[in-house]
Structure 1
């Protein structure tokens, strides 16, 4: 297998509040609104990596719940595992990786986040919870199957 045929694995946590809103961050590197998360380290457990990424980006400790979707960026070869989370401690704050942090309704997520990242949050916000989604995108928009 050559280097260009490898995939990387990322994780994201959709933190929901009692009102059903989701916590999104505005990334410092590209200003995009997304659920907190990032690339797993090679020797890192999936849930531990998710907890680390959420803490680094939001200042929150979380309990990791159900897997809500698997998403592949077809251009970059990134597979993202998205989990529903709830707050275990800490306080939400801007960080070196997040220039802003907001609780959002589904309508706000649709308005502010690119489709490929909004759908991850919307899938996790589904009520009643649905089986995990499996979706593909080009980095911005979903790709029809």
Structure 2
């Protein structure tokens, strides 16, 4: 990839922070940390939602988190694999959201605020994929 501008590094750092927080959230939710639930004002419905969380949904969640953390690191290291990794993170998050909204009643359980936040994460991940892709395409030109 060509020389990265300062805002590319800033975007990558934001993505790292966002996905580190996502990994933290993953462990807090799936270990059923009551203090964490209370700090976010989650009630029994949310606790039940994550207590009975299907393994096949968890696979998409894990893929999203791992690829989401790897993508900005690969970008900073100027690896072209950042593009496919960012696409993988985007697709995993998209599939997870579609499935959980359709099959797990995500909106009713977690609320509009969390739903909008999750869609925002998806959009940022998509934008990062497009940015990585543009950087690689510029190099070919």
Q: Same fold judged by TM-score > 0.5?
A: no
The structure whose residues are more often helix, as a share, is: 2
Q: Which has the higher strand share?
A: 1
- TM score, norm. by length of structure 1: 0.22
Bigger Cα Rg: 2
How does the TM-score come out when normalised to structure 2? 0.22
